[in-house]
A and B are shown apart, each in its own frame.
Chain A
């Protein structure tokens, strides 16, 4: 029975019959098989990757949601990649992204991986990162990964790990989860923001390992982040926000920082942003003065119904019912006259207030049911 001698149609039919585990294991048999699996990707829904970083290892867990009818099927595999790589006696060798990797089965679903490719050097930590990158690229090449979570509870992301993420892949969602702050170097953060392609990137508690620096956007790089969520914003340069269509900063920013965002937008920078969501102090005339210093404001052109549909749109995280005292004002970009509506709103049972930036982009206008004239 030679799989590779079967006609293409038959190969496809056979591969479509494979379950998650069989497909997963088949992918490690050879480069050719891996390419074949890449051609016929299954319609498995909700496959996620969870990357756990600890002081001794990085692990990659790939999961497929359990089918309700067959709860006994685990559909979960975890690669443990120790920073201290070692030769495992008599362990089978799998082909992972074209490289021979020793794999030892720890228990029913945990696989310990070691790199035995001598060409990449003898530094064991960097070898482990190589394996990490290869595992991710391999999984992305044969499965449709919808969500990627990166969890780190030991405060620091090892230097050099982030560049190993698979940047060719378009992720559904990437969450950086941590118990507290998650330290990352500016270099790694720059690599991440300028290369990742995702619908949503949550950098909730990212803190630069050397404080005081700001992320400097590379204007040559096009944004491939649909939504960027930030809480700790110490690394954010407000006049040059990271390139993302939608930016949510969920910690209170100062009025002058908000002014920097808007002034910069009017001057033609921060062009990637289409929707912004910021938290600020309670609005007062004086605060408003600070926000709009040096910016010409205009009467809002969005109707109440359009503002309602903006909040009701599926893209939006806030429910209009939780917002009150909604006030809007328009600003115009100097270079091309593009309009943005700035909407301020108080939140029910919340001290801080919200400030939304709604840029009149084609996609935003479609969302509220208005064609762009």
Chain B
């Protein structure tokens, strides 16, 4: 039910191509919305599929867009990589109107992709997918030693944490000093 097209988030995106409807299509024509990520590729997604995302569902309810307006104003998610948004859209389409299974084996195995997916799904508030993702993340450290867990989840050592904290304090101090100097300059 989705299509993807190279385009921009400009007011009038090109007409996306639509995948063939399933045989059991609802009688009432379904409304579609458009989303794009960092790469500006616009994805056409049905309202039914978007119901998985509490964030988008809330936006749709509040905006009351007509299909024309929705087409003209794709929801921009600039903080989400295009391929990750594609994964999310695919998942929403696959699970549109269906009860979600207890496990999902189609999640990415590469840890960086999974990390980005978790952040995106959390942002978009897709509860079931977030649960699968968190299960998958937890599975990554099953049977691993503390050293292996540190590597997989990139956990800094205490010394690294302390150094980072010191650095952050130093930076905050410099910024505060800069602001004070600027304020003093303004006052003059």
Contact = CB atoms under 8 A, between A and B. Distances in A.
B134 interface: yes
Nearest to A21: B143
Interface in A20-70: 21-22, 25-26, 28-33
Contact of B134 (A13, A32, A94): A13
Interface residues on A, range: 20 to 34
Given A26-B141, A31-B161, A1 B154 contact: yes
A92 B141 contact: no
Interface stretch (B38-46, B79-87, B107-115): B107-115
A94 B146 contact: yes
A7 B133 CA distance: 14
B140 interface: yes
A22 B144 contact: yes
B138 A17 contact: yes
A159 interface: no
Nearest to B155: A29
A21 B135 CA distance: 15
Contact of A1 (B112, B139, B158): B112
A7 B130 CA distance: 12
Interface string B112-155: 10110011001000000011001101111111111101101111
User: Chain B: interface secondary structure?
Assistant: helix
Contact of B150 (A6, A10, A17, A29): A29
B158 A95 contact: yes
B156 interface: yes
A17 B161 CA distance: 25
B54 to A, nearest CB: 13
B145 A30 contact: no
Contacts of B10: none
A2 to B, nearest CB: 4
Contacts of B114: 1
B146 A7 contact: no
B62 interface: no
Report the 3 A-B pairs with minimum CB-CB distance, sorted nearest first: A17-B138, A1-B111, A13-B134
